[in-house]
Structures are given as C-alpha cells and as structure tokens.
Amino acid sequence: MSAKPTTTSQIVLFLCTGNYYRSRFAEHMFNHLARQRTLPWRAISRGLSNQQGPWKIGPISKYAEVALNVRGIVPTEAHREPIHCHETDLCDANLIIALKEVEHRPMIEKRFPRWVDHIEYWHIHDIDQAHPEDALAELEQLVRALIDKLCAQNVR
C-alpha cells in the first residue's frame, strides 16, 4: 500500500490528531535533519481530526515553535494551518508514522481501515499527559533514530 518512490525523494508522513503540535514538530525536525545529511526523503504531516479546540492559537503550537527555535531549526516555508489527512496523503507516502498508537489507531481504524496495519505507531504523549519539553525531546530522539536508519538503508 505504500506509494511508488519518486525520483527526487521519498515521503514520510507523520500523523497526529490535530496536525498542530507533535506531527508539525516531527515534520520540521525530520526535514531539517534530512537536509543536513542529504537524505533523499522529506516529511509531511497531517491531522486525523478536523476538530479544533480553543487551544488552537495560530498555525502551529507555541510549544512546537519554541522547541524548534531552541534547536535552531528554521522551517524553509512559513508556518501553515493544520491539514486534515486524506487517503491520497497515505497513498503518496513511502512511510507512515502515527505518533501515539492508543490515540491514533482507533481514528485510523474508523477513517482508513485498510491502512491500519501499514502504519508504524510511536508512543508520544499529547500535552494532556506529558510536559511538552519531555514529549518533544522523546519525539526528537525517535526522529533522529529514524534518520539514522534511513541513512543506513540509503548507503546500501
């Protein structure tokens, strides 16, 4: 079910609930590291829910934005509004990662049942269960490990 690789780059799709905090941080972190290591991959991110709460102020979470700034990561494009996931996003991706299995698997089962077993699930808590500094530090470690893994595969 993964898409055909492109000649220029392959795509990793990060999924979370609102495409506002965790997935956006992962997208920017991944793209920053991939550019540094000239890895022919790029990240995109999408949200599984199109609902927005009163917590949504601006196009990206202040926690994600601060964490990126602290790490010296400047996105190559202006911050955009969250994007809702569609099946074409799944089809276009070479690798799909949902950022918290217990939270996102049920959403995927409901909206995209044929994709449930084609997604890698991580376990990064949302802001209601983990302080942003802790959650984003853990997410950074996983993204760095993913970059290392893809670089190793790219050498072969």
CATH code of 77's domain: 3.40.50.2300
Mean pLDDT, rounded, for 38-42: 95
Full residue range of the structural domain in which residue 51 is found? 17-107+115-155
Is residue 50 situated within a structural domain? Answer: yes
- Which residues touch 63 (CB under 8 Å, ≥6 apart)? 21, 127, 132, 136
Domain count, the chain: 1
User: What pLDDT shows up at residue 113?
Assistant: 96
pLDDT digits (tens, 9 = 90+) for 101-142: 999 999 999 999 999 999 999 999 988 898 889 999 999 999
Task: Judge whether 40 lies within some domain.
Answer: yes
pLDDT one-digit tens code per residue, 78-96: 889 999 999 999 999 999 9
- Report the pLDDT value the prediction gives residue 1, as an integer from 0 to 100: 52
Classified as helix, coil or strand, 122 is coil
How high is the pLDDT of residue 77?
82
11 found inside a domain: no
- 143 within some domain: yes
Residue 140 lies in a domain: yes
**DSSP-assigned letter for residue 140:** H
Return the beta strands (E) in 1-156 as ranges: 10-16, 41-47, 95-98, 120-121
Helix or strand or coil: residue 40? coil
In a domain, 7, yes or no: no
Backbone angles phi, psi at 98, to 5 degrees: -95, 135
